Chains A and B, each alone.
Chain A
Protein backbone atom coordinates (compact mmCIF):
# COMPACT_ATOMS: atom_id res chain seq x y z
CA UNK A 1 0.00 0.00 0.00
CA UNK A 2 2.87 2.33 0.80
CA UNK A 3 4.35 1.44 -2.54
CA UNK A 4 1.07 2.33 -4.27
CA UNK A 5 0.94 5.72 -2.60
CA UNK A 6 4.54 6.39 -3.53
CA UNK A 7 3.94 5.28 -7.13
CA UNK A 8 0.96 7.58 -7.42
CA UNK A 9 2.69 10.60 -5.99
CA UNK A 10 5.77 10.07 -8.15
CA UNK A 11 3.64 9.96 -11.28
CA UNK A 12 4.31 12.65 -13.88
CA UNK A 13 2.75 13.33 -17.25
CA UNK A 14 4.71 12.22 -20.31
CA UNK A 15 5.78 14.54 -23.06
CA UNK A 16 4.20 13.83 -26.44
CA UNK A 17 7.50 12.37 -27.64
CA UNK A 18 7.58 9.99 -24.66
CA UNK A 19 3.96 9.01 -25.28
CA UNK A 20 4.78 8.34 -28.94
CA UNK A 21 7.77 6.21 -27.90
CA UNK A 22 5.57 4.16 -25.55
CA UNK A 23 2.93 3.62 -28.25
CA UNK A 24 5.63 2.39 -30.64
CA UNK A 25 7.19 0.11 -28.02
CA UNK A 26 3.85 -1.45 -27.04
CA UNK A 27 2.73 -1.92 -30.65
CA UNK A 28 6.02 -3.57 -31.60
CA UNK A 29 5.81 -5.80 -28.55
CA UNK A 30 2.16 -6.70 -29.31
CA UNK A 31 2.99 -7.58 -32.92
CA UNK A 32 5.56 -10.11 -31.69
CA UNK A 33 3.28 -11.57 -29.03
CA UNK A 34 1.22 -14.48 -30.34
CA UNK A 35 0.27 -15.94 -26.97
CA UNK A 36 0.45 -14.95 -23.33
CA UNK A 37 0.04 -17.11 -20.24
CA UNK A 38 -0.04 -15.31 -16.93
CA UNK A 39 -1.15 -15.63 -13.36
CA UNK A 40 -3.17 -12.82 -11.87
CA UNK A 41 -4.43 -11.53 -8.55
CA UNK A 42 -7.54 -9.39 -8.52
CA UNK A 43 -8.45 -6.94 -5.75
CA UNK A 44 -11.97 -5.56 -5.64
CA UNK A 45 -11.95 -2.40 -3.57
CA UNK A 46 -15.21 -1.14 -2.10
CA UNK A 47 -14.71 1.83 0.15
CA UNK A 48 -17.03 0.59 2.89
CA UNK A 49 -15.37 -2.84 3.23
CA UNK A 50 -12.68 -3.59 5.82
CA UNK A 51 -10.69 -5.62 3.27
CA UNK A 52 -10.45 -5.80 -0.51
CA UNK A 53 -11.99 -8.92 -2.03
CA UNK A 54 -9.08 -10.94 -3.38
CA UNK A 55 -9.30 -13.57 -6.10
CA UNK A 56 -6.67 -15.44 -8.09
CA UNK A 57 -6.43 -17.17 -11.40
CA UNK A 58 -4.74 -17.67 -14.71
CA UNK A 59 -5.04 -15.86 -17.98
CA UNK A 60 -4.50 -17.26 -21.46
CA UNK A 61 -4.39 -15.05 -24.54
CA UNK A 62 -3.98 -15.99 -28.18
CA UNK A 63 -3.74 -13.35 -30.89
CA UNK A 64 -5.79 -11.82 -32.25
CA UNK A 65 -8.73 -12.05 -29.87
CA UNK A 66 -9.05 -15.22 -27.79
CA UNK A 67 -8.94 -14.50 -24.06
CA UNK A 68 -9.59 -16.86 -21.18
CA UNK A 69 -9.81 -15.62 -17.59
CA UNK A 70 -9.84 -18.57 -15.25
CA UNK A 71 -10.46 -17.83 -11.58
CA UNK A 72 -9.49 -20.67 -9.28
CA UNK A 73 -9.73 -19.09 -5.81
CA UNK A 74 -11.80 -18.44 -3.80
CA UNK A 75 -14.23 -19.82 -6.40
CA UNK A 76 -14.04 -21.64 -9.71
CA UNK A 77 -15.18 -19.47 -12.60
CA UNK A 78 -14.01 -18.90 -16.13
CA UNK A 79 -14.90 -16.41 -18.81
CA UNK A 80 -13.82 -16.89 -22.40
CA UNK A 81 -13.96 -14.19 -25.08
CA UNK A 82 -13.90 -15.75 -28.55
CA UNK A 83 -15.42 -14.84 -31.93
CA UNK A 84 -17.43 -11.92 -30.56
CA UNK A 85 -18.94 -14.26 -27.99
CA UNK A 86 -18.54 -14.59 -24.29
CA UNK A 87 -18.64 -18.05 -22.72
CA UNK A 88 -19.02 -18.46 -18.99
CA UNK A 89 -18.33 -21.56 -16.93
CA UNK A 90 -19.55 -20.86 -13.42
CA UNK A 91 -18.37 -23.84 -11.40
CA UNK A 92 -19.70 -26.25 -14.04
CA UNK A 93 -22.75 -24.18 -15.07
CA UNK A 94 -22.13 -23.10 -18.65
CA UNK A 95 -23.72 -20.18 -20.45
CA UNK A 96 -22.88 -17.91 -23.34
CA UNK A 97 -23.65 -14.40 -24.41
CA UNK A 98 -23.54 -12.89 -27.85
CA UNK A 99 -21.17 -10.01 -27.28
CA UNK A 100 -21.80 -8.57 -30.74
CA UNK A 101 -25.34 -7.61 -29.77
CA UNK A 102 -24.32 -5.90 -26.55
CA UNK A 103 -22.38 -2.70 -27.00
CA UNK A 104 -21.26 -2.61 -23.39
CA UNK A 105 -19.78 -6.10 -23.42
CA UNK A 106 -18.31 -5.51 -26.84
CA UNK A 107 -16.40 -2.49 -25.57
CA UNK A 108 -15.41 -4.21 -22.37
CA UNK A 109 -14.13 -7.18 -24.37
CA UNK A 110 -12.26 -4.90 -26.74
CA UNK A 111 -10.66 -3.08 -23.87
CA UNK A 112 -9.72 -6.28 -22.06
CA UNK A 113 -8.24 -7.88 -25.16
CA UNK A 114 -6.38 -4.71 -26.04
CA UNK A 115 -5.14 -4.28 -22.51
CA UNK A 116 -3.53 -7.70 -22.52
CA UNK A 117 -1.52 -7.18 -25.66
CA UNK A 118 -1.30 -3.46 -24.99
CA UNK A 119 -2.33 -2.56 -28.51
CA UNK A 120 -5.12 -0.15 -27.79
CA UNK A 121 -3.91 3.28 -28.79
CA UNK A 122 -5.72 3.28 -32.12
CA UNK A 123 -9.06 3.50 -30.36
CA UNK A 124 -10.95 6.73 -30.81
CA UNK A 125 -13.40 5.69 -28.12
CA UNK A 126 -11.20 6.85 -25.24
CA UNK A 127 -9.61 9.99 -23.98
CA UNK A 128 -5.98 8.85 -23.50
CA UNK A 129 -3.50 10.35 -21.01
CA UNK A 130 0.08 9.18 -20.47
CA UNK A 131 1.99 9.15 -17.19
CA UNK A 132 5.31 7.75 -16.03
CA UNK A 133 6.89 6.68 -12.75
CA UNK A 134 10.41 5.49 -12.01
CA UNK A 135 9.68 1.91 -12.99
CA UNK A 136 6.55 1.95 -15.12
CA UNK A 137 4.36 3.77 -17.59
CA UNK A 138 0.70 4.29 -16.81
CA UNK A 139 -1.90 5.07 -19.42
CA UNK A 140 -5.35 6.35 -18.47
CA UNK A 141 -8.21 5.49 -20.82
CA UNK A 142 -11.44 7.41 -20.21
CA UNK A 143 -14.45 6.25 -22.25
CA UNK A 144 -16.13 8.88 -24.41
CA UNK A 145 -19.32 6.83 -24.71
CA UNK A 146 -21.81 7.85 -22.00
CA UNK A 147 -23.24 4.35 -21.56
CA UNK A 148 -19.81 2.85 -21.07
CA UNK A 149 -18.72 5.70 -18.79
CA UNK A 150 -21.64 4.84 -16.52
CA UNK A 151 -20.01 1.43 -16.00
CA UNK A 152 -16.33 2.34 -15.94
CA UNK A 153 -15.19 5.89 -15.28
CA UNK A 154 -11.60 5.29 -16.26
CA UNK A 155 -9.24 2.46 -16.95
CA UNK A 156 -5.55 2.61 -15.95
CA UNK A 157 -3.09 0.25 -17.59
CA UNK A 158 0.46 -0.01 -16.27
CA UNK A 159 3.27 -1.13 -18.54
CA UNK A 160 6.75 -2.24 -17.57
CA UNK A 161 9.60 -0.28 -19.15
CA UNK A 162 9.86 -3.15 -21.66
CA UNK A 163 6.22 -2.76 -22.75
CA UNK A 164 4.40 -5.60 -20.95
CA UNK A 165 1.08 -4.96 -19.19
CA UNK A 166 1.72 -5.41 -15.48
CA UNK A 167 -1.52 -4.16 -13.96
CA UNK A 168 -5.00 -3.04 -14.93
CA UNK A 169 -7.17 -0.84 -12.76
CA UNK A 170 -10.83 -0.32 -13.61
CA UNK A 171 -12.26 2.63 -11.71
CA UNK A 172 -16.02 2.94 -11.35
CA UNK A 173 -18.00 6.20 -11.22
CA UNK A 174 -18.14 5.77 -7.40
CA UNK A 175 -14.30 5.58 -7.33
CA UNK A 176 -14.47 1.97 -6.16
CA UNK A 177 -12.16 -0.08 -8.32
CA UNK A 178 -10.91 -3.46 -9.46
CA UNK A 179 -7.15 -3.89 -9.62
CA UNK A 180 -5.66 -6.84 -11.51
CA UNK A 181 -1.96 -7.56 -11.12
CA UNK A 182 -0.27 -9.92 -13.57
CA UNK A 183 2.74 -12.06 -12.75
CA UNK A 184 4.60 -15.15 -14.04
CA UNK A 185 4.05 -13.99 -17.61
CA UNK A 186 5.08 -16.42 -20.35
CA UNK A 187 5.03 -15.27 -23.96
CA UNK A 188 4.70 -17.18 -27.23
CA UNK A 189 4.37 -20.63 -25.75
CA UNK A 190 2.00 -22.77 -27.86
CA UNK A 191 -1.41 -23.03 -26.16
CA UNK A 192 -3.51 -26.09 -27.07
CA UNK A 193 -6.84 -25.27 -28.78
CA UNK A 194 -8.63 -27.16 -26.01
CA UNK A 195 -7.81 -24.32 -23.62
CA UNK A 196 -10.04 -22.01 -25.64
CA UNK A 197 -12.88 -24.49 -26.19
CA UNK A 198 -15.99 -24.31 -24.10
Chain B
Protein backbone atom coordinates (compact mmCIF):
# COMPACT_ATOMS: atom_id res chain seq x y z
CA UNK B 1 0.00 0.00 0.00
CA UNK B 2 2.78 2.38 0.99
CA UNK B 3 4.61 1.43 -2.18
CA UNK B 4 1.47 2.09 -4.20
CA UNK B 5 0.97 5.50 -2.58
CA UNK B 6 4.56 6.62 -3.08
CA UNK B 7 4.51 5.40 -6.69
CA UNK B 8 1.30 7.33 -7.27
CA UNK B 9 2.90 10.35 -5.67
CA UNK B 10 5.90 10.07 -8.02
CA UNK B 11 3.59 9.64 -11.00
CA UNK B 12 1.58 12.68 -9.94
CA UNK B 13 4.71 14.80 -9.56
CA UNK B 14 5.93 13.51 -12.92
CA UNK B 15 2.65 14.62 -14.47
CA UNK B 16 2.72 18.18 -13.18
CA UNK B 17 1.87 20.28 -16.19
CA UNK B 18 4.90 21.95 -17.75
CA UNK B 19 3.71 25.55 -17.14
CA UNK B 20 2.97 24.86 -13.47
CA UNK B 21 6.35 23.16 -13.07
CA UNK B 22 7.94 26.31 -14.49
CA UNK B 23 5.98 28.54 -12.06
CA UNK B 24 3.28 29.89 -14.38
CA UNK B 25 -0.45 30.38 -13.74
CA UNK B 26 -3.09 30.07 -16.41
CA UNK B 27 -4.24 33.42 -17.68
CA UNK B 28 -7.84 34.31 -18.41
CA UNK B 29 -6.85 36.78 -21.09
CA UNK B 30 -8.19 35.91 -24.49
CA UNK B 31 -5.76 34.94 -27.15
CA UNK B 32 -4.06 37.58 -29.22
CA UNK B 33 -2.20 37.09 -32.48
CA UNK B 34 1.17 35.55 -31.63
CA UNK B 35 4.11 35.81 -34.01
CA UNK B 36 7.69 34.76 -34.22
CA UNK B 37 9.19 37.84 -35.94
CA UNK B 38 12.74 36.54 -36.32
CA UNK B 39 12.57 35.19 -39.88
CA UNK B 40 9.66 37.26 -41.13
CA UNK B 41 11.37 39.93 -43.26
CA UNK B 42 11.49 38.79 -46.91
CA UNK B 43 14.00 41.55 -47.71
CA UNK B 44 16.51 40.29 -45.17
CA UNK B 45 19.07 37.51 -45.71
CA UNK B 46 19.39 35.66 -42.40
CA UNK B 47 22.95 34.29 -42.38
CA UNK B 48 24.45 32.43 -39.42
CA UNK B 49 27.74 30.76 -38.63
CA UNK B 50 26.63 27.36 -37.36
CA UNK B 51 28.23 24.99 -34.90
CA UNK B 52 26.69 21.55 -34.53
CA UNK B 53 27.52 19.01 -31.86
CA UNK B 54 26.16 15.55 -32.69
CA UNK B 55 27.17 12.96 -30.07
CA UNK B 56 30.98 13.41 -29.92
CA UNK B 57 31.28 15.01 -33.37
CA UNK B 58 31.62 18.71 -34.14
CA UNK B 59 30.56 20.26 -37.44
CA UNK B 60 30.63 23.81 -38.65
CA UNK B 61 29.17 25.69 -41.56
CA UNK B 62 26.95 28.50 -42.70
CA UNK B 63 23.19 28.39 -42.24
CA UNK B 64 21.12 30.63 -44.48
CA UNK B 65 17.43 31.28 -43.92
CA UNK B 66 15.36 33.31 -46.35
CA UNK B 67 11.67 34.11 -46.37
CA UNK B 68 10.70 33.74 -50.02
CA UNK B 69 7.11 34.84 -49.44
CA UNK B 70 4.33 34.32 -46.91
CA UNK B 71 4.61 30.84 -45.31
CA UNK B 72 7.50 29.96 -47.59
CA UNK B 73 11.13 29.75 -46.43
CA UNK B 74 14.39 28.34 -47.80
CA UNK B 75 16.89 26.89 -45.34
CA UNK B 76 20.36 26.12 -46.72
CA UNK B 77 23.43 24.80 -44.94
CA UNK B 78 26.83 25.08 -46.60
CA UNK B 79 30.45 24.48 -45.63
CA UNK B 80 32.61 27.56 -45.01
CA UNK B 81 33.92 27.02 -48.56
CA UNK B 82 30.38 27.34 -49.81
CA UNK B 83 29.58 23.75 -50.76
CA UNK B 84 25.93 22.99 -50.09
CA UNK B 85 25.33 20.29 -47.49
CA UNK B 86 21.55 20.59 -47.50
CA UNK B 87 18.91 22.81 -49.05
CA UNK B 88 15.30 22.67 -47.81
CA UNK B 89 12.09 24.45 -48.82
CA UNK B 90 9.27 24.95 -46.30
CA UNK B 91 6.02 25.93 -47.95
CA UNK B 92 2.90 25.93 -45.78
CA UNK B 93 2.86 22.36 -44.44
CA UNK B 94 5.07 21.01 -47.22
CA UNK B 95 8.70 20.15 -46.77
CA UNK B 96 10.92 19.66 -49.79
CA UNK B 97 14.52 18.50 -49.84
CA UNK B 98 16.09 20.33 -52.78
CA UNK B 99 19.49 18.88 -52.06
CA UNK B 100 21.27 16.90 -49.38
CA UNK B 101 24.70 15.32 -49.20
CA UNK B 102 24.24 11.59 -49.79
CA UNK B 103 25.87 10.69 -46.46
CA UNK B 104 23.23 12.74 -44.63
CA UNK B 105 20.21 11.51 -46.57
CA UNK B 106 18.64 9.59 -43.68
CA UNK B 107 14.93 9.70 -42.88
CA UNK B 108 15.52 10.02 -39.13
CA UNK B 109 17.93 12.94 -39.50
CA UNK B 110 15.67 14.67 -42.04
CA UNK B 111 12.73 14.37 -39.63
CA UNK B 112 14.73 16.02 -36.85
CA UNK B 113 15.96 18.83 -39.09
CA UNK B 114 12.52 19.42 -40.56
CA UNK B 115 10.92 19.72 -37.12
CA UNK B 116 13.69 21.93 -35.72
CA UNK B 117 13.71 24.37 -38.63
CA UNK B 118 9.94 24.43 -38.93
CA UNK B 119 9.71 25.44 -35.25
CA UNK B 120 12.42 28.01 -35.77
CA UNK B 121 10.84 29.79 -38.75
CA UNK B 122 7.08 29.36 -38.16
CA UNK B 123 5.78 32.91 -38.09
CA UNK B 124 2.11 32.81 -37.10
CA UNK B 125 1.15 30.88 -34.02
CA UNK B 126 -2.34 30.05 -32.79
CA UNK B 127 -2.37 29.92 -28.98
CA UNK B 128 -4.27 27.18 -27.16
CA UNK B 129 -3.56 28.41 -23.62
CA UNK B 130 -1.75 31.37 -22.12
CA UNK B 131 0.11 31.27 -18.78
CA UNK B 132 1.58 34.24 -16.94
CA UNK B 133 4.33 34.84 -14.42
CA UNK B 134 4.99 38.54 -13.78
CA UNK B 135 6.28 40.00 -17.07
CA UNK B 136 6.62 36.59 -18.70
CA UNK B 137 4.06 34.75 -20.80
CA UNK B 138 4.13 31.11 -21.70
CA UNK B 139 1.97 30.32 -24.71
CA UNK B 140 0.91 26.81 -25.50
CA UNK B 141 0.39 25.84 -29.11
CA UNK B 142 0.26 22.71 -31.18
CA UNK B 143 1.77 21.83 -34.52
CA UNK B 144 1.31 18.41 -36.12
CA UNK B 145 0.28 16.78 -32.82
CA UNK B 146 3.40 18.14 -31.07
CA UNK B 147 3.02 20.59 -28.20
CA UNK B 148 5.08 23.75 -28.12
CA UNK B 149 5.44 26.45 -25.48
CA UNK B 150 6.52 29.93 -26.59
CA UNK B 151 8.13 32.03 -23.87
CA UNK B 152 7.80 35.79 -24.17
CA UNK B 153 9.72 37.98 -21.70
CA UNK B 154 8.43 41.57 -21.75
CA UNK B 155 6.81 40.77 -25.12
CA UNK B 156 10.07 39.48 -26.60
CA UNK B 157 10.16 35.86 -27.76
CA UNK B 158 13.09 34.27 -25.96
CA UNK B 159 12.38 30.55 -26.15
CA UNK B 160 10.41 27.86 -27.98
CA UNK B 161 10.19 24.49 -26.22
CA UNK B 162 8.75 21.27 -27.62
CA UNK B 163 7.20 19.41 -24.73
CA UNK B 164 6.26 15.74 -24.46
CA UNK B 165 5.11 14.10 -21.22
CA UNK B 166 5.46 17.53 -19.57
CA UNK B 167 9.20 17.49 -20.28
CA UNK B 168 11.34 19.61 -22.59
CA UNK B 169 12.38 17.58 -25.64
CA UNK B 170 13.80 20.38 -27.76
CA UNK B 171 14.53 23.92 -26.61
CA UNK B 172 15.28 26.82 -28.95
CA UNK B 173 16.74 29.80 -27.10
CA UNK B 174 16.97 33.25 -28.68
CA UNK B 175 19.42 35.79 -27.29
CA UNK B 176 21.19 39.02 -28.26
CA UNK B 177 18.03 40.33 -29.89
CA UNK B 178 17.59 43.77 -31.43
CA UNK B 179 15.14 45.04 -34.05
CA UNK B 180 13.77 41.53 -34.55
CA UNK B 181 17.21 40.19 -35.46
CA UNK B 182 18.52 37.41 -33.21
CA UNK B 183 22.28 37.30 -32.99
CA UNK B 184 22.49 34.02 -31.12
CA UNK B 185 20.26 30.95 -31.30
CA UNK B 186 20.78 27.68 -29.50
CA UNK B 187 18.77 24.54 -30.33
CA UNK B 188 19.23 21.78 -27.76
CA UNK B 189 17.75 18.29 -27.89
CA UNK B 190 17.36 16.42 -24.63
CA UNK B 191 16.64 12.91 -25.96
CA UNK B 192 19.58 12.81 -28.40
CA UNK B 193 22.99 14.43 -28.07
CA UNK B 194 22.37 17.15 -30.60
CA UNK B 195 22.95 20.87 -30.23
CA UNK B 196 22.92 23.53 -32.94
CA UNK B 197 24.41 26.95 -32.20
CA UNK B 198 23.84 29.82 -34.61
CA UNK B 199 25.71 33.11 -34.51
CA UNK B 200 24.57 35.86 -36.87
CA UNK B 201 27.20 37.11 -39.32
A interface vs B, CB < 8 Å?
42, 44, 46, 48-51, 53, 55, 69, 71, 74-75, 77, 79, 88, 90, 93, 95, 108, 147, 150-152, 170, 172-174, 176-178
Q: How far is the CB of B121 from chain A (nearest CB, A)?
A: 14
Q: Which of A77, A147, A151 contacts B83 (CB 8 A)?
A: A151
Check B82 for interface membership: any CB of A closer than 8 A. yes
Q: How many of chain B's residues have a CB under 8 angstroms from any CB in A?
A: 27
Q: Which of B176-201 contact A (CB under 8 A)?
A: 199, 201
Structural contact, A90 and B82, CB atoms closer than 8 A: no
Residue in A50, A75, A147, A178 whose beta carbon sits within 8 Å of that of B81 in the complex: A178
B45 — which chain A residues lie within 8 A by C-beta? Answer: 49-51, 53
Complex CA distance for A93 and B44, rounded to whole angstroms: 30
Chain A residues closer than 8 Å to B47, beta-carbon distance: 53
Taking a contact as CB atoms under 8 Å apart, the answer to whether A50 and B58 are in contact is: no
Q: How far is the CA of A174 from the CA of B88 in the complex (A)?
A: 13
Chain B, 42-71, contact with A by CB distance < 8 Å: what is the 0/1 string? 011101010100000010101010101000
Residue pair B80, A48 in contact (C-beta under 8 Å)? no
- Distance in Å: Cβ of B104 to nearest Cβ of chain A: 12
A-B contact count (CB 8 A): 66
Q: Is B102 interfacial (CB-CB < 8 Å)? A: yes
* Chain A, Cβ-Cβ closest to B80: A77
Identify which of A53, A88, A93 contacts B64 (C-beta below 8 A).
A53
A177, B78: Cα distance in complex, Å: 11
Choose from A49, A53, A93 the contact partner of B51 (Cβ within 8 Å).
A93
Residue of B nearest to A179 (CB): B82
Which listed residue, B74, B83, B99, B102, touches A178 by the CB 8 Å rule? B83
> How far apart are the CA atoms of A90 and B59 in the complex, in Å?
9
Task: Please determine whether B82 and A44 come into contact, CB atoms closer than 8 angstroms.
Answer: yes
Docked-complex contact B66 and A49, CB < 8 angstroms: yes
Docked Cα-Cα span, A44 to B201, in Å, equals 13
Contacts of A50 in B (CB 8 A): 43-45
A170, B64: Cβ atoms closer than 8 Å = no
User: Across the interface, which residues of A come within 8 angstroms of B51, CB to CB?
Assistant: 90, 93
Q: Is the CB of B60 within 8 A of A170?
A: no
A174 contacts B84, CB within 8 Å? yes
By beta carbon, the residue of chain A nearest B201 is A74
Mark B94-119 against chain A: 1 for CB-CB distance below 8 A, else 0.
00001101100000000000000000
Q: Do A173 and B99 touch across chains, with their CB atoms under 8 A apart?
A: yes
Q: Tell me the complex Cα distance, A163–B90, Å.
A: 46
A46 touches B98 (CB 8 A): no
Residues of B within 8 A of A69 (CB): 81
A176 touches B68 (CB 8 A): no
Please, which residues of chain A bring their CB within 8 A of the CB of B83?
A: 108, 151-152, 170, 172, 178
Q: Is the CB of B82 within 8 A of A178?
A: yes
Q: Which residues of A contact B74 (CB under 8 A)?
A: 48
Query: Among B64, B68, B84, which residue has its beta carbon within 8 angstroms of that of A172?
Result: B84
- Report whether A93 and B84 are in contact in the complex, using a CB–CB cutoff of 8 Å: no
User: What are 22 A-B interface contacts by the 8 Å CB criterion?
Assistant: A42-B82, A46-B76, A48-B66, A48-B68, A49-B45, A51-B45, A53-B45, A53-B47, A53-B62, A53-B64, A53-B82, A74-B49, A75-B49, A75-B201, A90-B51, A90-B60, A93-B60, A150-B102, A170-B81, A172-B84, A174-B87, A174-B99
Q: Chain B nearest CB: distance from A174 CB in Å?
A: 7
Closest-by-CB residue of A relative to B82 is A178
